[in-house]
Chain A
Amino acid sequence: IAGITQAPTSQILAAGRRMTLRCTQDMRHNAMYWYRQDLGLGLRLIHYSNTAGTTGKGEVPDGYSVSRANTDDFPLTLASAVPSQTSVYFCASSDGGGGDYNEQFFGPGTRLTVL
């Protein structure tokens, strides 16, 4: 079934630990995104990639890094986790920037708790 997968589904992490959230899509979409969703706030863009080999910073990039070695995978790394990074993380993809709908399709999310 085509779509986006994320792993892990949930994780409890000690502060200071390094963590990589995985995201894979099989729709051959050019653009991919990482968001965090916190209660009472809208989805906030962390990092994005318009095409394989390129990445960009979103609204809240500090403390996070990404890479886009190929079209399908877009991992998000927390180098040294802090409690304020406790959130639900969504990965999304779209066909590309500009033109028509280009709606974003979302993965099921990763619920991360940093203690």
Chain B
Amino acid sequence: GQNIDQPTEMTATEGAIVQINCTYQTSGFNGLFWYQQHAGEAPTFLSYNVLDGLEEKGRFSSFLSRSKGYSYLLLKELQMKDSASYLCAVRDSNYQLIWGAGTKLIIKP
């Protein structure tokens, strides 16, 4: 079967750095996405990785290792507005997205 694993909840301090991990087992791989979802709102696109390595976008970076079935999202200089759920999704061989359950990130002052 297809499976995406990520921690259920993480806590971090404002101004710090946090890394959210995602491991996956899917039928085929055509890219990995990270989305941010604030409570009661729709998911919004953050980043995309299809090749191994690090993609940097301002305070957010995403890393991929296809051989290990592993990705992480790195958030730097945390702000209170970063409190949200972070969803990892893999595009499979049918070009459909398989979603993890999401990691709820709590930022404390």
Residues of A with Cβ closer than 8 Å to B? 40-45, 48, 58, 90, 97-98, 101, 103-109
Contacts and interface: CB of A to CB of B under 8 A. Distances in A.
Contact of B99 (A40, A42, A103): A42
B4 A43 contact: no
Contacts of B33: 103
Nearest to A90: B42
Contacts of A41: 101
Q: How large is the interface on B (under 10, 10 to 19, 20 to 34, 35 or more residues)?
A: 20 to 34
Nearest 7 Cβ contacts at the A-B interface: A42-B99, A106-B42, A97-B95, A43-B99, A103-B45, A42-B101, A101-B48
Given A98-B30, A108-B41, A42 B96 contact: no
Given A58-B96, A98-B30, A104 B102 contact: no
Contacts of A105: 45
Residue among B41, B43, B45, B87 facing the most chain A CB atoms (10 A cut-off): B43
B44 interface: yes
Interface in B32-60: 33, 41-45, 48
Contact of A104 (B41, B45, B101): B45
Residue among A43, A98, A104, A107 facing the most chain B CB atoms (10 A cut-off): A43
A98 B28 CA distance: 13
Contacts of A98: 30, 95
A45 B42 contact: no
A108 to B, nearest CB: 5
Given A98-B30, A103-B33, A45 B44 contact: no
